[in-house]
Amino acid sequence: MPELRRDPVTGRWVIISTDRQRRPNDFRIERVGTIGREQCPFCPGRESMTPPEVLSYRQSGGAPNTPGWDVRVVPNKFPALQVEGTLDRVGEGMFDRMNGIGAHEVIIETPDHDRPFAAMSEPEIERVLWAYRERILDLKRDVRLKHILVFKNHGGAAGATLDHPHSQLIALPVVPEYVREELDGARRHFELKERCVFCDMVQQEVHDGRRIVQENADIVAIAPYAPRFAFETWLLPKAHGARFEQTPRHVSESLARLLKAVLQRLDRALESPPWNLVLHTAPASEEAEAYHWHVEVMPRLTRVAGFEWGTGFYINPTPPEEAAKVLRSVRL
Ligand SMILES: [Zn+2]
Ligand SMILES: [Zn+2]
Ligand SMILES: [Zn+2]
């Protein structure tokens, strides 16, 4: 059973994997590189290599756990957290820990091993976003799960150990620190001004234009004012909404369109860099109307080094105004 432990100084939770014998090759895999097509457990025909699916979309039919799927969601074979058990929050002298209750799922985005996100059609990307939504809605019914995070690692340097296009979903028994900070900030702004900080940001950025990468009717992609990473790009819905999973379908379609365009711009401007994507939606466990869901895309162009580890603040070599200008000028 994995365990959550809380740092007594900062209050930050970490997951300690106690199940070592189930993942003996982890450190070796990272050094050797990614798992190729020959052994890929996500390719059609190898459905038995993953735990049984919890969701699949099958336009051409077919039984669960057999080929014929377009999108397939399965529990992670090496989960960071597990669903069975109770939270059992206990003190150990001055320390706090709890059982690592949660869910860890893999969204296999396409049956095609060599079809990265940016190469998928807009309806294909939208189908993946819809799978995120359906899994979030399902997992939210479990009251032990306080926050659900969807993320994607693209490229070995971004932490992907499998080439086959996939995203991951982690449902946590606590709200992670970074989301907490954003939520607290949004609430502070709301108390002060009775407006959403993200809505204010969208309005000012659209009016100003310097940091706009691209926009459509429902979504705007911006280089945020104070980005941690070079070419960091956020995609925000123009209409206020705290929760991604409650977004109407047309907004989800607009997001798919803009996400594809942004990833293509990054690929062309920066020669297909590795990147991480995170979906930030309001915690499942609390009233959070001041929050405003969004997607953050972070290309991995520089390494996080001692200064960042030591201070928690980042040195970004590219001003966002310049990044946005470069990305805007890419011809699609
Ligand atoms: Zn594959
Ligand atoms: Zn808002
Ligand atoms: Zn965020």
Sign of CA dihedral 155, 161, 165, 168: negative
> Is the pLDDT score of 99 beyond 90?
no
Among the listed residues 154, 166, 189, 292, the single catalytic one is 166
What protein residues have CB closer than 5 angstroms to ion ligand 1?
40, 42-43, 113, 164
Q: Taking the C-alpha atoms of 258, 133, 126 and 301 in order, what is their torsion angle to the nearest 10 degrees?
A: 50
Distance from residue 290's CA to the centre of ligand 2 (Å): 7
Distance from residue 220's CA to the centre of ligand 2 (Å): 13
Confidence band for 19, pLDDT divided at 50, 70 and 90 = low
Q: Are the C-beta atoms of 317 and 303 separated by less than 8 Å? A: no
Q: Count the Cβ atoms, other than its own, within 10 Å of residue 200.
A: 13
What pLDDT digit, counting tens, does each position of 159-204 carry?
777 889 999 999 999 998 889 999 999 999 999 999 999 999 999 9
Write out the E strands in 211-269.
Answer: 212-215, 219-222, 233-237
What pLDDT digit, counting tens, does each position of 263-317 carry?
999 999 999 999 999 999 999 988 899 999 999 999 999 877 787 878 878 889 8
Instruction: Tell me which ligand sits closest to the C-alpha of residue 200.
Output: 2
Confidence band for 88, pLDDT divided at 50, 70 and 90 = confident
Instruction: Tell me which ligand sits closest to the C-alpha of residue 35.
Output: 1
Distance from residue 42's CA to the centre of ligand 1 (Å): 5
Give the pLDDT mean for 39-65: 94
CA 20 centroid distance within chain = 25
pTM: 0.92
pLDDT value at position 233? 98
What pLDDT digit, counting tens, does each position of 29-50 carry?
444 456 778 889 999 999 999 9
For the ranges 24-33, 68-77, 116-125, 227-236, the lowest mean pLDDT is seen at 24-33
- Residues pairing with 153 in the sheet: 276
When the pLDDT of each residue in the chain is averaged and rounded to a whole number, the result is: 91
Known catalytic residue: 166?
yes
Percentage of the chain exceeding pLDDT 90: 70
Give the pLDDT mean for 247-256: 97
Confidence band for 75, pLDDT divided at 50, 70 and 90 = very high
Single out the residue of 325, 293, 7, 19 nearest to residue 129, CA to CA.
293
What protein residues have CB closer than 5 angstroms to ion ligand 2?
196, 198-199, 240, 292
